[in-house]
Amino acid sequence: MNFIRKLPWGLVIAGCLTLGLAPFAPPHIWEKLVMLKNGELSRPIDWFDLFYHGVPWLLLIIKAAVALKKRTS
């Protein structure tokens, strides 16, 4: 968790706004999430895409959870 705490908020947010949303119309992560919901993620490249575009969002969620936990403790 020390790695997450040391990540600058600006870097995590920039990752979400660039890699996390690219291409922007419509956001690629949204397309992959819809495919996951519909059970259409069948090719390995689709799973890799979901992981690749989802990592910034996961880091943001984890960093926010760690910050909130630290704040309430």
Position 2 confidence tier, pLDDT thresholds 50, 70, 90: confident
pLDDT above 80: residue 73: no
- Cα 41 off chain centre by: 17
How many whole angstroms separate alpha carbon 47 and alpha carbon 5?
A: 28
| CA gap 64, 33 in Å, rounded | 21
DSSP H helical segments within 7-72, as ranges? 9-17, 28-38, 44-72
DSSP helix/strand/coil, 24? strand
pLDDT one-digit tens code per residue, 4-37? 989 999 999 999 999 988 887 888 888 889 999 9
